[in-house]
Amino acid sequence: MRKRVFLLITILMSIALIGIISVQVFWIKNTIQISNAQFTSNVKFALAKVSEEIKDREFSQFYNKLNGLYQQGKKLKDLDVRRFIYEKIDTTNNEKFTYSQSIIEANYKVPTEFFDNDSINFKKIFSKEKIVVVKNQTMDDNLKTSNPPQESYVRLSRFKSAEKAYLERYFDIITHRLPINKRVSNRELTMRLTQELKKRGIVTKFKYGIYSNGLATQVKSGYFRKEEGKSYKVPMFINQDGESNYQLYVNFPDKKNFILGSISKILILSVFFILIIILTFATALYQLVKQKQISEIKTDFINNMTHEFKTPIATINLALDAIKNPKVIDDREKVNKYVKMIREENKRMHAQVENVLRISKLEKNQLDVSKEKVEVHDLLRKAVTHVDLLIKDSSGYINLNLNAHSTEVLANPFHLESIFVNMLDNAIKYSNEAPKITISTENSPKNLIIKIADKGIGMNKNVQKNIFKKFYREETGNIHNVKGHGLGLAYVKKIVEIHQGEIYVESEKGKGSTFFIKLPLI
């Protein structure tokens, strides 16, 4: 039942985690898409504004020059005005372009009988255009072949809105034939693009290039190349008919980094919270697994303790009942026998309680482990005497190969002897046949190495990883084959570590185990 509940909780937590992360990832992706769309919109508006400003600047220069002549109030020859307004000389292509237009104004006066008040004047404008292009001639030759113009004096009248519209028409025809580098410079284009993009919050590197009907012109930055799907385009110098022969392309090499940078704070926070969620989930799951293991260990420990105490308690009860028997109570020899049995069982229970208390004190660093100069070979021999009766009773043996020449360490003799006894006791317990134990010692440059080998049941790799954990005991199914609490080797490892030593095991299932203890020499 507990396993099912644990599995259900784990599944629900996993689904919740996946859901939260999915929402966060979707939100981040959506934010990037919105930022990308906003970037594209801002760039298009900026490019359209730059194109419009350059066109307005070019026409304003043309218009202001003409308007300046009017403001001077100067009488001009027809030839001067025509050349200024209508005539352009292209030295690059060695040609002269002349545009002329005659403007006729007709005034009409509507009689007063049609209206209640004074008469009204109406003006109608007629125009006649003429274009002449002279190619492959020098200016001198052109002047020789041309008829000298008739000189007549006119006063330049003030430009009204209708007249300005006419000028725009003339302007488009005149500038259409100029090369693009004469109409706009790289410096102006860079400056205007930078200003307009900055106004819209776009501060990143860009490259640009003006193309004429698909062909690159001289107006470009560096090694610009237009890229399909990556370049932004806007027409340049649109005429009155809405047509244009030039297109401005702009690329942003660091566009992705700029977009991510603009939402970097939000992204960092989102990633941070996702990591916190994952870490919290992992911690919670780890704690659940750990608590489950602890719960199982505690249950197992209580069961083991119950079994361990049940036998001596039952033995003590039987001994007490036997002593109460009138036939036995007068038999001094039998009474002493039962009293000795009670004492031994009591010692056995006391030893079990002591093991638990020792581990508890060690975990809380409350155990007093005073150290002194100790001769390890002497402690090993004492430990052997403690288990000598058990060995003889099991028809086994212990071989001592004490070959180390330096055997003095700084240690607590009681605890060091206790761990040797504990390990020898385990070697006896986990031997299916007569125990065959070998204790050997040797020296490394700085350590004393103690080996306790047996020919017992051995253990697999998984058991070797967990053998020194508190309460851990190898099982066969749900049955413990050997009585104990799983505290012995945990106590051994803790004592060895307190002595700045190291303990590890090498074992093979069915062939026995060898425990290695390294203790630093004095």
**Does 128 reside within a domain?**
no
Question: For residue 208, what pLDDT is reported?
Answer: 92
Q: Which of 73-82, 192-201, 290-299 has the lowest mean pLDDT?
A: 73-82
Tell me, what CATH number does 415's domain have?
3.30.565.10
Q: pLDDT for 300-349, tens place per residue?
A: 667 666 766 776 787 788 888 888 888 778 788 888 888 888 887 787 77
Residues 381 and 443 in one domain: yes
Find all residues with CB under 8 Å of 246, minimum gap 6, and list them.
Answer: 180, 210, 211, 212, 217, 235, 236, 237
Which of 287-291, 300-304, 488-492 shows the lowest per-residue confidence on average (mean pLDDT)? Answer: 300-304
Phi-psi region of 365 (alpha: psi -120 to 50; beta: other; left: phi over 0): left
Give the whole-angstrom CA distance, residue 6 versus residue 14: 12
Statement to judge: residues 509 and 373 lie in one domain: yes
- Residue 374's SS3 state is strand
Instruction: Tell me, letter by letter, the H, E, C secondary structure of 54-117.
Output: HHHHHHHHHHHHHHHHHHHCCEEEHHHHHHHHHEEEECCCCEEEEEEEEEEEEEEEECHHHCCC
**Residue range(s) defining the domain that contains residue 486:** 368-520
- How much of the chain is helix, strand and coil, in % rounded to 5? 55, 20, 25
Residue 66's pLDDT band (boundaries 50, 70, 90)? low
- Domain match, 450 and 494 both: yes
Report the amino acid identity of residue 180: I
List Cα–Cα distances, 332 to 16, 318, 328, 336, 494, in angstroms. 74, 17, 8, 6, 46
Does some domain include residue 159? no
Closest CA to 42 of 266, 265, 258: 258
Domain boundary among 319, 334, 361: 361
CB neighbour list of residue 66: distance below 8 Å, 6 or more residues apart = 84, 85, 156, 159, 167
Residues 6+ apart with CB under 8 A from 161: none
Residues 440 and 325 in one domain: no
Looking at residue 195, what is its pLDDT? 92
Q: Does 219 map to a domain?
A: no
How far apart, in whole angstroms, are the C-alpha atoms of residue 173 and residue 277?
Answer: 68
Find where tokens 């749900």 sit: 478
Coil, strand or helix: which one is 432?
coil
| Residues 381 and 339 placed together within one structural domain of the fold | no
Q: Is residue 316 part of a domain?
A: yes
User: Has residue 70 been placed in a domain?
Assistant: no
Q: Any idea which of 57-71, 121-135, 181-195 has the lowest mean pLDDT?
A: 121-135
pLDDT band at 142 (very low <50, low <70, confident <90, very high): very low
The mean per-residue pLDDT over the stretch 349-376 comes to: 73
pLDDT at residue 238, rounded to an integer: 85
292 in helix, strand or coil? helix
pLDDT band, very low/low/confident/very high, at 517 (cuts 50, 70, 90) = very high
Q: Is the pLDDT of residue 297 over 80?
A: no
Reported as a pLDDT band with limits 50, 70 and 90, residue 402 is very high
C-alpha separations of 296 from 289, 299, 300 in Å: 11, 5, 6
Question: Could you tell me if 343 and 419 lie in one domain?
Answer: no
C-beta atoms surrounding 376 within 10 Å: 24
Determine the residue type at 390.
L
Q: Are 88 and 97 in contact (CB under 8 A)?
A: yes
